[in-house]
Amino acid sequence: MNENAVYERQNFGNSVGFGRRPALLIIDFQVGFADPEVFGGGNVKPAIEATEPLLKGMREIGAPVAYTRAVFSGDGSDGGTFALKVPALTTLTDDAEISQIVPELAPEEGELVVRKIGPSAFFGTPLQSWLTMRSVDTLIVTGATTSGCVRASVIDSVSYAYRTIVAEDCCGDRAIGPHDANIFDMGQKYADLMSGEEALAKARAATTANAPAT
């Protein structure tokens, strides 16, 4: 049985396309998620590497860039039920080395870095209002893990009516099976799937087309 045929017959997987003002969201590319001995593994490191040229290009066109960090209090009091499922998350304290953004994707001045204690980049953070202030209508999503915080953020991005683009080679998971399954599902229901290179090219075109006249 061709499972893809079910989605095609029911008319899933249509394109949302690019709007006028794209931004880049980098989710939880922290030192601990780059380390297979902590929270990493799978294809997380290649995803970080693929994000580097995308980040560089988005900066060149002046696009807004936002990051998330999973950060918990030292006593674990804000871990909630998420930490009941994954108690080791509470080791991601603000000052811990494993909770810092990987050096190759270090934020620059003017870029947003939000701390979060839930899977979604939007839950309990100022991300949505920050994007609104910058007239963002298209969100390119990268980060870790594909099946967890990336997916949760993508669903909330759609719920806030952003045109959502998943840069699939710039997303990583500690296991490839969950990565592949969630990439497929997000592509059918919530987002357009592109490589980081393709997403950057679309962002360049959108920015050029909508630049103010001089």
Where along the chain do its domains lie? 18-209
Per-residue pLDDT at 138: 98
- Active site residue ranges: 149
Whether pLDDT at 2 is above 90: no
- What percent of the chain shows pLDDT beyond 70? 99
Per-residue pLDDT at 209: 82
Per-residue pLDDT at 74: 81
What is the mean predicted confidence (pLDDT) over 193-206?
97
Would you call the peptide bond into 90 cis, given omega within 30 degrees of 0 as the criterion?
no
Per-residue pLDDT at 163: 98
Per-residue pLDDT at 213: 62
Least confident of 51-55, 119-123, 151-155, 207-211: 207-211
- The DSSP H or E segment spanning 208 is helix 196-209
| Beta-strand runs (E) in 65-160 | 65-70, 112-116, 138-144
Mean pLDDT of the chain: 95
* Confidence bin at 214 (pLDDT 50/70/90): low
- Compute the distance between CA of residue 172 and CA of residue 40 in angstroms, rounded to an integer: 9
- Compute the distance between CA of residue 62 and CA of residue 58 in angstroms, rounded to an integer: 6
Per-residue pLDDT at 65: 98
* Confidence bin at 89 (pLDDT 50/70/90): very high
The DSSP result for 10-32, as a single string, is: TT--------S-EEEEEE--BGG
Q: Look at domain 18-209 and name its CATH class.
A: alpha beta
**Residue 173: which residues within 8 A CB-CB, separation 6 or more?**
42, 43, 44, 144, 145, 146, 147, 148, 179, 182
What the block records as the tokens of 41 is 């593994």
Helices (H) and strands (E) in the chain, counts: 7, 6
* pLDDT tens-digit readout, 164-174: 999 999 999 99
Backbone phi, then psi, for 80, in 5-degree steps?
A: 60, -160
Per-residue pLDDT at 70: 97
* pLDDT tens-digit readout, 33-53: 999 999 999 999 999 999 999
